[in-house]
Each structure stands twice: as structure tokens, then as C-alpha cells.
Amino acid sequence: MRSRLPRVAASTAPATQPPSLPGLDPAWSRLVTVPAWSGDRTGGTDRAARTWHLLDTAGSLAALGVEPVGTILCVHGNPTWSYLWRSVLRTSLEVARAGGPAWRVVAVDQLDMGFSERTGVERGLPQRVADLGALTDELGLTGLVVTLGHDWGGVVSLGWAVDHPDVLAAVMTCNTAVHQPDDAPIPAPLRLALGPGLLGRATVVTPAFLETTLGIAHPKLERAVADGYRAPYRGAARRGGIGGFVADIPVDARHRSAAELDRIAAGVAALDVPALLLWGPRDPVFLERYLDDLSERLPHADVHRFEGAGHLLPDDADVAGAVFDWIGDRLSGGSVPDDATPGLPSAPDQRADVSRPLGAALEDLRESDEPALVEMAAAGGPRTITWRLLARRVDEIAAGLDDLGVRSGDRVSLLVTPGADLTAVLYAYVRIGAVVVVADAGLGLRGLTRAVRGARPDWIIGALPGLGAARALGWPGRRIATVPLPAPARRALRVEHTLVDVARRGARRLAHGSALPTVPTTDAPAAILFTSGSTGPAKGVVYTHGQLGAVRDVLATQYDIGVGTGLVAGFAPFALLGPALGARSVAPDMDVTAPRTLTARAVAASVAAADATVVFLSPAALANVVATASALDGADRAALARVRLFLSAGAPVSAALLTAATELMPNASAHTPYGMTEGLLMTDVDLDGVRSAAASDDEGICVGAPAANVRVRIAPLDASGAATGALTDSAGVTGEIVVAAPHVRDHYDRLWRTNRVARLGVEDPRGHRTGDVGHLDASGRLWVEGRMQHVLTTPDGVVTPVGPEQRIEGVPGVGRAGVAGIGPRGTQQVVAVVETTSGRRARGSALASPALAASVRAAAGVPIAAVLTVPVLPTDIRHNSKVDRTRLSRWATAVLSGGRMTRP
């Protein structure tokens, strides 16, 4: 080390107490001297007496008169100190004061770091693990101990865990790594810091390494907090440990700490205690490959990725809340319950619900020459694919993929637009047990990147746009192209195979008598479908084969869709489910990322081409179909007259829009199902039901009665707007909507805490808290009143947004309306933001005229603090229909605080 670091790195200094800092209770701070220790402890060469600074809640718990059930041992990394864990200490005491299990928290400053002693001695990984063991011996930690580490402190804490099996209760980590792959370089920021002549200057002589770390917090650290991290490192003489930590990174097998890292990595793989892996995906140092490695070593571990968070995870996200939620579940009362096996929430056994594989209809129809798919955007007019051809193509692709080494459980990202290729690929992957990852292109490039990286696919299959994005943005996975590519393009895009090659490979295997793998079991994972991202970062929703089969069955039962039905699917999931239903499917000619590109003529052409009797469109697509109806000719209208059922879902659909659509399809029954990515069909209402609901005094939008095998209940809201009440199916109770059904999703991918929230207080293993707020009426119909995060808590009580929005939209001159809250919860003021329709639409945002504001206030039914007008309300990115109330709230707050009148 001394040959690479300046002499000042070897400076010595005694341990000291930290100054007063925000979030740090002086009562936690203490100095502990560990006496010189003998040779019976392996791993360390410096065995002199050393003084540590640490934060410890033992005294605070004693003042509360409570006995801890165990200890959480927190170990920071580089270049932080125990200040990193201040929220964990604070939360531990809040839990204890509230009567929960009392856990002592000990957060150490590693030697040469924070306010601990500057030893002047090189401290490699073996020494640091031994140091921590000597300290815990001195502290006399007995009973249950849970480790919590971050960065290089994660490695040190795991080393301690491996060495102390007698007291280890569980392990928790935030963004760390125990293995560096041989075929991957160390992350770029560390390569730069380790560069010749740079290490000392970047880490010790200057605070560059420290400042860079503080600068990548998401969101940016408050100045006082950043100064808190800087406090122990004022001056080069205090920063020797920062440089020493960087120098101790094992860049190859010859490094002095490589053997210890290998020992810890092997020991971690042998741990059988509960484990929690918390991750910030925006970390430029600890990349997702390190999370993958830890997940493989700890396959039973619970994982939660805080989308949007980065390296300084305990500051970026609510790590403390997740930690104590998890400990409360996994180590209830200080012991591991017999039924608290680590891992994802147990999936319901779907075997009783589903007896047929998802592709059973395709298998039944494999000898049929009737149309299975119709492609409208094909060159030269519509192209028809028969059931026989589709079944053969699925078999060939499945056999080819199996020959390439795609195995059951492999994740495959599908970057293919709806059509024959996507359908054949999807059913081929499902057939061999691979897990298909479907992220809607409507998420946008940034959202799609987050989704694909988060899902960590083993394979990517796509056309040029998707493969180009995958290459440019560094998405993981081996590449298969759906189109032939010249050799230079294949090399540039890192494409290994084309779909044609895969199918030919499979055809040869089948011709030689090779069999396909065994059909997956119903409880095996089948798909990860990403949510729209309209209420936060898109989440990966995991479905088992049985649950996808249950989705097929509820659609077949509810709408009488089956063999021989012609289905126009303007929404990709329904296009993909067509073959599972045995339905003849057609995806209309449109841009799937922009539902408003669908025209009435395109729908009529699709209906005619597939002799369709069922049409499914998103509300935005349906609105544009109605708006372009004047272009229909007699043949188009005749085709639309053959439709017996049309469905529109994904966002609220007004009676006026359904009525207008019915005029185009006069013989069709109009339905608007309610569902979500986590459960595609929960309730259903037809046009007559929507019309009758319009005469009701109920608040919100009526979405009808539960579908077959669906149970709907309500978790009542309390005065703070939280859904804390016991589940009920009583009429007139407003709260969070909770559903249960065989076709509800299994879990969210790598989102342990989100899974927990979605099932909190729901005893049915097939239950799901939807995040929507609403109520049931006396007839058992469900009314949706908004989203839980959009519930307003005003001085006059709780306000749900949809009812006021509907009443405001009835004001002459108002188009759409959005209701948002400004100010602190409990004292929020309600702001109405409207699109105007009278005269020329406003070019910019403005305060409403006095007359319009008065009319809006009179209609709203709740006190309105301000009325603003905008040319267009912001909406979600997938359906282009749901008003983005969170964005409205931020914008209205800025505007009413004196900001510019820009568009939201």
C-alpha cells in the first residue's frame, strides 16, 4: 500500500467523538477500546489495542426499560462511516417505543475510518474481518445477531457472519459484492481510482473519491447531511483509510485479499439463515451482476430493488423501513418462526384451478387449416397463418431454442411487435419452460431500459429497433434477431442467431426424432409482465403457468370466447392470449406504443379480415376510432355490424364514449372490464350498467360486479388516508380495493417489500391489494374513486379524486379535469386543473377566469383552493388515458408558489 499511497496515508490519530450532526443522537455515540488480542484469532497481523467509535442504541433501550431481543450489527463501506446507518438506529427506537420487538443496533466505524482510531497500519480484508470479530468479542454480543453491511462493509459483515454461526440469526446487505467475475472488468470508477499515479491523489491527498461518492446520491444530499459524511475526513491525514480501502480491492487472484474474499464467498453460499438483499440499481460501482451473484449464492434470499436509488442506498431509499419490516416478518419476536422460510411469498397452489396448459388449444387445433392469426400490416395485404402452421412453427422454434441451450427457468426478453413472430416465439418459450419478459414499448426507452435491466434476461429476441437499443444501452442477455441480418450488423449488435436459423435448427432436430422437454408444471414461473409505470417505476409481475391458464379461463368464461371466435386485439396481452383461447386473432394496423394511432377504418379492416365478432381496444384507441368514424364506407360499417362484443379497459371509459362506439358496432354488447397487470380481469360492467350507475349518488366510476371466481373486498381508510381497517364487503365503505382470484399474479420480481405491501393483511394467498381506492354498493358492484397515492387529506377530511373530477367535467366549457393536493398531508388544499373546450383552446397554462373558477368550485362538492387551466392534462405513457395526478400536484405546487406557468 505504501508504495501506491502517499506517506500521509499512514498517519496515526486517536479515536474521537463526532460533532453534533443532523439525525445523529449524541447518546448513541461511544468509544470502545479493544485490548491487544492473542494469536488464537486468525486473519489479522495487527493485534494491538485499538479504539473504535461506534453508534449504539443499548443505552437508549435501557432508558425505555426494554430488553433487546437481539442485535443488528451495521458495517459501513468506503468512504462513509456509521452515520450511514442513522435512520436504522432511529427506526429501531421508534419500533421499540411503539411496543414492537426491541433490537439493539450497533453501527461501527471501521478502524482508520469515521471517528475511529487512525492506526497507521495496512488493513486488508483478513485484518478487517478479524478486527470486527475482536470488537464484537469485547462488546460481548451474544444471542441473536443480524448483520447489515454496505459496500466493502458488506463483505466484512458477511465475513463476520461466516465466522460466527453460533450467534448468527440472519444477514442483510446493501449494494455489495463477494466475487469479481474473471471475464468482467472491475467497474469503471474503481479502475479510474486505481489508475497509476491516481490512487493517492484521488482518495487521500484530495477528497475527490469522497466527493464523487456523495455526488451520486439520488436524490441529492442536503448540504448538512453531506457535511456530516465529510466530518471525519477533513484533511488528508484523516483520509488514509479511504485510500487503503480502494487499494484493498482484489483486482485479480494475486491480490493479497483475494483468498479471503474467496473464503467469504464460499462461506456465504453455505449460509442457511434468512437473508435480505437490498439494492440501488443506479449504482455505477456495484452493478447488477453482483446482485445476481449474491442471489445465486443465497437462492433463499429475499430481494428488493429500490428503482431509482443508487450507491448511497440507505440515504436514497427507506432501507430502515424495509429492514424492520423484514425482521418483523422473518425474525418475529427474536426467533425464526417455523413457517418463515426465507424467499418469495408462497404461491398459491393452482393445480385445482387449472388442468390445461396454456397452449392446450393450440395443441388441440394443430391439424386444423383454419386461420389462427391474421397479420394486417404485412406487405401485400393481410397474411393468414393457420393453426397447423402456427403449431409447427412453435414446435420448431421450441426445439431450436432447446438445442441452443435455452433451459427451463431462463429469462427471455421479447422485444418483438405483436404479430405471428411474437406469438410463435412466446408459445415456444412457454412450451420449454423459459420465463418470458414482456415490457411494453410504451414505457419509453428509459422505462424499458429499467425494466429489462431489472429483469436480468438471459436471452433477448427482437427486431432491429429492440436489438439496437439493447446494444446501445447495455441490456443483458444473449441476442437472437427475428430478421435476417448481414454479418457486420450481427457483429455490431452482438447477435448470435436469427429466428430463421433457430427454426431450421429445431426442424432438423424434430426430423431426427428428438422430443421437446417435458411440459412445465403449473406452479413454475411462466412470464414477467411489466406494469405501465403510470403510478411509479414499472414493476415486473410474475405469473405461473397455472395463473396464465386461469387468465385464459376467466376470459373464456366471462365473454364466451373460444374456438372459432374472431378476436380483434388492440391491446397486446389479448392478442397473445388469442391462441390460448383457441380464438382467431388479429392485431390491427397501428403503432402499439401510441394507442391513438388506431383508426375506425383499421378496426373495420381487421374485423373483415378475421371475420371477428369480438373487439378489444384501450380507451385512448377507442376514442380515436370514434373520432375517425366519418372515414368509414358502407363495407366498413357492414363489417363492424358483425361484432357481437367489444371491450375497452385500462382506464375509465365514459358512457358517452361507449355509446358512440356502440353506434359504430350496433349489434355489439359494450363492456368495460376492470383489471390491472396483476389481474387482467377482476370485474365487468356493460353499457346498461354504466348508464344506470350515472343516476346513482355513489362516488367514483362503477366498474361492475366481480368476474367469475373473483372476490372483492375493501380495506377501509383511516383519518390519515391509510387503508388500515379490516377487510370488508359491506356497502358504502371507502378504502383500498383488495381482490382475490386464481388468476391474480404470483409475486413481483425482486421487490420483496412491494410483495409484502400488496399482501399485507390479506389472508387469502391469492389476494392482492390493488392500490386503487373505492367502495362496493348495495348491489355488490365496485366503484373506483382513484389511486391510494392520490387520496387527499384535507382539514375537512379525506377526499378521493374521481368524484370531484367527474362533477367538474360536467361544467360547461370543461373537458377533462384533474384534482391534486398541495401542502402537507392532513392540511392539504385541493386544486382543480382543467382542459377547456369553449372557444380556442388555451395555448398555455393559466389561472382560470373568475367565472370558470366559480363554476368549478360550485360543482366540485369539495372545497377548491385554486382552479388552473392547461391545454392538455398529463397522462400515463401506456394507455394515454389516466391523468397523472402526481405530476399535476408537483406542477400546481410550483405554480402556486410563484413559479412559471409552464405546462405540467
Co-location of 306 and 382 in the same domain = no
Sign, CA dihedral 683-688-691-693, equals negative
With 0-12 / 13-18 / 19 or more C-beta atoms within 10 angstroms meaning exposed / middle / buried, residue 6 is middle
Q: Is the pLDDT of residue 191 over 80?
A: no
> For 399-403, 596-600, 749-753, 786-790, which range has the lowest pLDDT when averaged over its residues?
596-600
pLDDT digits (tens, 9 = 90+) for 504-555: 999 999 999 999 998 899 999 999 999 877 667 889 999 999 999 999 999 9
Q: Is the pLDDT of residue 382 over 70?
A: yes
Co-location of 521 and 575 in the same domain = yes
Q: Work out the pLDDT band at 593, boundaries 50, 70, 90.
A: low
User: Quick check: is 523 in a domain?
Assistant: yes
Amino acid letter for position 827: T
> Which of 541, 571, 587 is at the close of a domain?
587
Cell 427486431 belongs to residue: 463
Contacts of 183 (CB under 8 A, 6+ apart): none
Per-residue confidence (pLDDT) for residue 42, from 0 to 100: 64
pLDDT digits (tens, 9 = 90+) for 22-33: 999 999 999 999
Per-residue confidence (pLDDT) for residue 243, from 0 to 100: 92
Contacts of 900 (CB under 8 A, 6+ apart): none
Per-residue confidence (pLDDT) for residue 344, from 0 to 100: 33
What distance in Å separates the CA atoms of residue 588 and residue 575, rounded to the nearest whole number?
A: 10
Q: Is the pLDDT of residue 763 over 90?
A: no
Contacts of 531 (CB under 8 A, 6+ apart): 538, 539, 541, 676, 677, 678
Question: Which secondary structure element, helix H or strand E, spans residue 96, and what is its range?
Answer: helix 86-97
> Which of 547, 563, 587 is at the close of a domain?
587
> Cα–Cα distances in Å, from 239 out to 8, 256, 422?
9, 21, 56
Sign, CA dihedral 616-621-624-630, equals negative
Using H for helix, E for strand and C for coil, what is the string for 703-743?
Answer: EEEECCCCEEEEEEECCCCCECCCCECCCCCCEEEEEECCC
Co-location of 741 and 825 in the same domain = no
Q: What 8-state DSSP symbol labels residue 434?
A: -
Question: Which secondary structure element, helix H or strand E, spans residue 856, and what is its range?
Answer: helix 850-860
Q: Quick one: how far is CA 819 from the chain centroid? A: 26
Contact 156, 261 (CB under 8 A): no
Q: Work out the pLDDT band at 381, boundaries 50, 70, 90.
A: confident
Q: Work out the pLDDT band at 6, boundaries 50, 70, 90.
A: low
Per-residue confidence (pLDDT) for residue 334, from 0 to 100: 46
What distance in Å separates the CA atoms of residue 219 and residue 491, rounded to the nearest whole number?
A: 38
Co-location of 294 and 427 in the same domain = no
Strands (E), 434-582: 435-438, 459-462, 478-481, 495-498, 525-530, 540-544, 566-569
pLDDT digits (tens, 9 = 90+) for 283-312: 999 999 999 999 999 999 999 999 999 999
**DSSP per-residue string spanning 740-786:** E-TTS--EETTBHHHHHHHHTT--STTEEEEEEEEEE-TTS-EEEEE
Amino acid letter for position 823: G
Using H for helix, E for strand and C for coil, what is the string for 170-207?
Answer: EEEEECCCCCCCCCCCCCHHHHHHCCCCCHHHHHHHCC
User: Quick check: is 325 in a domain?
Assistant: yes
User: Quick check: is 225 in a domain?
Assistant: no
Q: What's the mean pLDDT in 492-499?
A: 95
Co-location of 785 and 821 in the same domain = no
Q: Which is more confidently placed, 370 or 886? A: 370
Give the structural domain span for 151.
Answer: 30-187+257-334
The CATH number linked to 695 is 2.30.38.10
Per-residue confidence (pLDDT) for residue 780, from 0 to 100: 96
HSE, CB side, 13 Å, CA atoms: give it for residue 278. 30
Co-location of 580 and 532 in the same domain = yes
Contacts of 820 (CB under 8 A, 6+ apart): 790, 801, 830, 831, 833, 885, 886, 888, 889, 892
Co-location of 290 and 428 in the same domain = no
**% of the chain residues with pLDDT over 90:** 72
Contact 298, 275 (CB under 8 A): yes
Nearest to 535 by CA among 226, 813, 887, 837: 887
With 0-12 / 13-18 / 19 or more C-beta atoms within 10 angstroms meaning exposed / middle / buried, residue 510 is middle
Angle between helices 125-139 and 152-163 (to 10 degrees): 60
And the C-alpha cell for 307?
Answer: 428503482
Question: Which secondary structure element, helix H or strand E, spans residue 591, and what is its range?
Answer: none
Strand bridging mode 103-108 / 70-75: parallel
Contact 445, 741 (CB under 8 A): no
What distance in Å separates the CA atoms of residue 353 and residue 356, rounded to the nearest whole number?
A: 9
**DSSP per-residue string spanning 18-76:** ----TT--GGGEEEEEEPP--TTS-S-S--S-EEEEEEE-HHHHHHHT---SEEEEEE-
Per-residue confidence (pLDDT) for residue 352, from 0 to 100: 36
Q: Work out the pLDDT band at 473, boundaries 50, 70, 90.
A: confident
Co-location of 381 and 298 in the same domain = no
Per-residue confidence (pLDDT) for residue 853, from 0 to 100: 93
And the C-alpha cell for 389?
Answer: 402452421
Co-location of 763 and 813 in the same domain = no
The pTM of this model reads 0.89
Dihedral angle of Cα 848, 850, 854, 857, to the nearest 10 degrees = 40
Core vs surface per residue 397-419: b (16+ CB within 10 A) or e: bbbbbbebebeeebbbbbbbbbb
Co-location of 797 and 859 in the same domain = yes
What distance in Å separates the CA atoms of residue 743 and residue 804, rounded to the nearest whole number?
A: 33
The CATH number linked to 841 is 3.30.300.30
User: Quick check: is 611 in a domain?
Assistant: no
> Which of 738, 770, 789 is at the close of a domain?
789
Sign, CA dihedral 322-325-329-335, equals positive
User: Quick check: is 20 in a domain?
Assistant: no
Locate all alpha helices (DSSP H) within 433-519, ordered by sequence.
Answer: 444-455, 464-473, 487-493, 499-511
Amino acid letter for position 883: V
Q: Is 904 helix (H, G, I), strand (E, B) or coil?
A: coil
> For 328-332, 638-642, 845-849, which range has the lowest pLDDT when averaged over its residues?
845-849
Co-location of 307 and 454 in the same domain = no
Question: Residue 799 phi/psi, 5° resolution?
Answer: -125, 130
> For 31-40, 99-108, 218-227, which range has the lowest pLDDT when averaged over its residues?
31-40
User: Quick check: is 601 in a domain?
Assistant: no
Our count of domains for the chain comes to 4
Contact 559, 673 (CB under 8 A): no
Co-location of 276 and 416 in the same domain = no
Q: What's the mean pLDDT in 345-356?
A: 44
Question: Residue 839 phi/psi, 5° resolution?
Answer: 65, -155
Per-residue confidence (pLDDT) for residue 86, from 0 to 100: 98
Length of the chain: 904
Q: Is the pLDDT of residue 41 over 80?
A: no
Q: Say how many Å lie between the first and final Cα of the chain, rounded.
A: 54
* Residue-averaged pLDDT of the chain: 89
User: Quick check: is 11 in a domain?
Assistant: no
The CATH number linked to 518 is 3.40.50.12780
Per-residue confidence (pLDDT) for residue 379, from 0 to 100: 63
Question: Which secondary structure element, helix H or strand E, spans residue 276, and what is its range?
Answer: strand 275-279
pLDDT digits (tens, 9 = 90+) for 430-453: 999 999 998 877 677 788 888 888
Cell 453531506 belongs to residue: 226
Per-residue confidence (pLDDT) for residue 143, from 0 to 100: 85
Q: Is 127 helix (H, G, I), strand (E, B) or coil?
A: helix
The CATH number linked to 44 is 3.40.50.1820
User: Quick check: is 593 in a domain?
Assistant: no
